Structure 1
Amino acid sequence: MIEVAAGPGAGEVEDLAASDLLASIRLERAAENTAAARQLVLAAQWADLHPPESIHSAAAFTVPGCEHEEPIAGDGTPLVAEFCIAELGTVLGISTTAAKKLIGHALELRHRLPRLWDQVHAGRVPAWRARSVAETTIHTNPVLTREAAGFVDAQVAAVAGRIGPAQLDRLVAETIKRYDLAVADPTADPEDGYLSVDPRHVTVHDDDVHFAGTMRIEAEVDLADALDLDRAVAHDAATQKALGSQLSLDARRAKALGNLARTQTALDLHASGATGPADTDGLPPAREMVIHAHFDATLSGDTTVFGPTGRMENGQRLVLLEQIQAWCGDTHTSVTIKPVIDLNTPLTAQGYDIPDRIREQIILRDRTCVFPNCSRPARGCDIDHVVPWDEHADAEGRPQPGPTTTSNLAALCRFHHRLKTHSGWRYEASAPGVFEWTAPHGYRYRRDHTGTTELDPPDPPGIPRPRRR
């Protein structure tokens, strides 16, 4: 393990000469890499303390569109109890999914990529580079055996700290290709084009939404498909310019991609016999917008120096009112205005079941799962009774401890709903839409529409906390 001296404090930086400033920056980066490497060790040790039988079933990644789940690390790594991951995530201020990746990468490196693990702790390879290799070896299709991972480790570890990220990705992919080819046919030519890792993908980065209402799309497609797409986008951009568009070429090309998507969606709806209002082309609207209007902007606190704003439910991002107006004004857009629901009005139902009006109020109020740092949209969450409903209370003549009322309801995604029900996590509603969580080891967090705030941490063993006056 590398020992790194602390750099100067913030108040001392202004007095540094250029050479001293560079030296300080170098020290800080070394300290950052050392801390990241140490964090991998601690994450692996946390996993060691929590085998599945200790708390709950083994943690896994759900695969979209598939009926199976992938383990958090590859073959030969120990399984980890799924409920221990959330507590690690909250301490680090990250989501449960991000904490699951951290533990998975740590176990993959320690057990299946030991040479790379040693390089990280010798300070020769930054932790983030090693984690990118681990991410690939964990989720490669077909699954890498332990022997295959060891082959990748032997080829990659020595150079991982001396090449760029893109070159490292290519090296890992090429190493996997050569191993699979050698196993399938030891006499085959490794340059015959066989590739076990198909690089094609289309990724919409919906977790990185710009304030202006834009989103990044990344794709790797077949060469012929790429050329066809380029021609279609160029043609649409030229058409826009001929019709008088004053946008830049890049903006017109971006808009052309959206036009292609909306046109195809409309064609699909038209071919399937969809009915409804048609646009000027005789096709049904391809974009649907549901608008929830609130007269008092202070309800959500979404005020900015740029003027009136709205919030996208699928993305949980603020967008400017003028951007919403532009979306609504498109001829391929169908707009639905929902009745206003006052988020401050308490609503109550007599039984356990949650009526649609109360469910909608909770979804609009909470926006996401209310577990610390969770960002799953509330519309796909369960609506949980914070204080559980007692089905025997009425029969025994006791007041209902967990009524179906706004102040006792919260949106929880299915995982965190199970976590709350079957583990040591507890929470309470201190106000409508404000929840205070307590972790099994005593850490406490407040979650509201502004995000997650850590409250006073628990006292270290044997060290009483000074009493406040």
Structure 2
Amino acid sequence: TLTEAYQAIHEADAHARAAEVALIIGIAKAAELYEIDDAAVMEAVEGFLEPGGDGTPSVGEFLAHELGGILQISPEAALEKIGTVLDVRFRFPALWEAFLGGSLRWWQVAEVVNRPAISQLNAEAAARLDRKLAVALRLWSWQRIRRNLEAWIIAADPAAAAERETRQRENRYVAVDAVRNGHCALYGILDPRDAIDFDHALSEVAKTLPVEAGDLKQRRAAAVGVLARQAGGQDMLPQATLIVHINADDPALDPDAESSGVVEVERWG
């Protein structure tokens, strides 16, 4: 019956959550108990690694190999998982308790601590953020917490946030990808004011385009071309119709010849 199906789903989900908690606790315990042979360290056979952020303990590098073998993942993936577990346990105890208590899934916790801006926080700043999370977890939904997380990261370490802004400013760019399926992808990193102005301009130009050009999203895409041609002084130029003449004797048209039947115009597709 449908009720039995729902019950089976509920039980399977409960087992999955319990198994997830047991797995993460096991990784944390393995990192705690793993011992490095001092002789191996002296002989440079095994070294110490710090996969977690500031304030987390180091681990033996072979632990990742052993864990990777158990979980059937690469040592690199295992080391990343160990680092995330150590980050949550030692840097964000509020998230750790929320996960152990079942109010958060591991993917939610990992999404937070693996953000570059968070993983780069020093131990003191991470503790400030964790205290904020501890209060929020008691009062707010997870969705609301995620919406406010960026502001809390900045407040936890304003100096580090300023450094990130400086680095990001140096990485600003706009790129137009190659033609694929008759279209190009446009992406980049912009100054906030430029991005907001550009977004507003696209919407305003899109409103002037005929509804036959598509819905608002499609007209915003068309607005990019309008702005580009206006900047180049071509906004009033008529569209041209390109006529391609094909020689009927071209061997490529022979139905018995090995040909894809596709013509490619360089840089246009």
Q: TM-score, normalised by structure 1?
A: 0.35
Residues 87 and 180 of structure 1: CA distance in aligned 2, closer, same or farther (over 3 Å)? same
For 2:52 and 2:186, locate their aligned partners in 1 and report how far apart those are by CA, in whole Å.
Answer: 27
Matched, 1:124 2:94: no
Residues 103 and 147 of structure 1: CA distance in aligned 2, closer, same or farther (over 3 Å)? same
8 A contact 1:56–1:82 mirrored in 2: yes
In the alignment, structure 1 segments of 5+ residues that lack a partner are 1-15, 60-70, 185-193, 203-211, 236-244, 261-320, 335-469
8 A contact 1:89–1:99 mirrored in 2: yes
Could you say what secondary structure the match of 2:82 adopts? helix
Residues 129 and 196 of structure 1: CA distance in aligned 2, closer, same or farther (over 3 Å)? farther
Q: 2:59 aligns with which of 80, 84, 94?
A: 80
Q: Alpha-carbon deviation of 1:113? A: 1.4
Could you say what secondary structure the match of 2:266 adopts? coil
Q: Alpha-carbon deviation of 1:141? A: 7.3
Could you say what secondary structure the match of 1:94 adopts? coil
Q: 1:35 aligns with which of 12, 19, 42?
A: 19
Superposed CA offset, 1:76-126 (max 9, x none): 211123343244234323344432221111101111112221221122222
Q: 2:120 aligns with which of 133, 143, 147?
A: 143
How many correspondences in the alignment? 208
Q: 1:93 aligns with which of 40, 57, 72?
A: 72
Bigger fraction of residues in helix = 2
8 A contact 1:116–1:130 mirrored in 2: yes
8 A contact 1:156–1:171 mirrored in 2: no
8 A contact 1:114–1:153 mirrored in 2: yes
Residue 232 of structure 2: aligned partner: none
Q: How does 1:322-333 map to 2 (within 5 A)?
A: 329-332=264-267
Superposed CA offset, 1:194-240 (max 9, x none): 767659699xxxxxxxxx9x9x99876424136547868x99xxxxx
Q: TM-score, normalised by structure 2?
A: 0.56
For 2:186 and 2:97, locate their aligned partners in 1 and report how far apart those are by CA, in whole Å.
Answer: 36
Residue 111 of structure 1: aligned partner: 90
For 2:80 and 2:186, locate their aligned partners in 1 and report how far apart those are by CA, in whole Å.
Answer: 22
Residue 46 of structure 2: aligned partner: 56
8 A contact 1:52–1:79 mirrored in 2: no
Residues 100 and 150 of structure 1: CA distance in aligned 2, closer, same or farther (over 3 Å)? same
Could you say what secondary structure the match of 1:77 adopts? coil
Could you say what secondary structure the match of 1:102 adopts? helix
Letter in 1 for 2:67: L
Deviates more, 1:71-80 or 1:90-99: 90-99
For 2:85 and 2:37, locate their aligned partners in 1 and report how far apart those are by CA, in whole Å.
Answer: 17
8 A contact 1:180–1:196 mirrored in 2: no
Residue 31 of structure 2: aligned partner: 47
Letter in 2 for 1:125: L
Could you say what secondary structure the match of 2:114 adopts? helix
Superposed CA offset, 1:140-160 (max 9, x none): 279322222112112113544
For 1:73 and 1:99, locate their aligned partners in 2 and report how far apart those are by CA, in whole Å.
Answer: 12
8 A contact 1:142–1:196 mirrored in 2: no
8 A contact 1:52–1:80 mirrored in 2: no
For 2:48 and 2:94, locate their aligned partners in 1 and report how far apart those are by CA, in whole Å.
Answer: 27
Q: 1:224 aligns with which of 191, 194, 199?
A: 194
Residue 168 of structure 1: aligned partner: 145
Bigger fraction of residues in strand = 1
Letter in 2 for 1:102: K
For 2:60 and 2:145, locate their aligned partners in 1 and report how far apart those are by CA, in whole Å.
Answer: 32
Letter in 2 for 1:145: N
Residues 87 and 142 of structure 1: CA distance in aligned 2, closer, same or farther (over 3 Å)? closer
Give the share of equivalent positions with the same residue, in percent.
Answer: 22
The structure whose RCO (Cα within 8 Å, separation 6+) is larger is 2
Q: 2:10 aligns with which of 18, 22, 26?
A: 26
Residues 57 and 122 of structure 1: CA distance in aligned 2, closer, same or farther (over 3 Å)? same
For 2:36 and 2:154, locate their aligned partners in 1 and report how far apart those are by CA, in whole Å.
Answer: 33
Superposed CA offset, 1:267-321 (max 9, x none): xxxxxxxxxxxxxxxxxxxxxxxxxxxxxxxxxxxxxxxxxxxxxxxxxxxxxx9
Q: How does 1:265-280 map to 2 (within 5 A)?
A: none
CA RMSD of aligned residues (A): 4.8
8 A contact 2:112–2:118 mirrored in 1: no
Residue 157 of structure 1: aligned partner: 134
Q: Alpha-carbon deviation of 1:41? A: 1.5
Residue 190 of structure 1: aligned partner: none
Residues 102 and 50 of structure 1: CA distance in aligned 2, closer, same or farther (over 3 Å)? farther
Could you say what secondary structure the match of 2:14 adopts? helix
In the alignment, structure 2 segments of 5+ residues that lack a partner are 173-180, 206-212, 229-259
Q: Alpha-carbon deviation of 1:253? A: 4.5
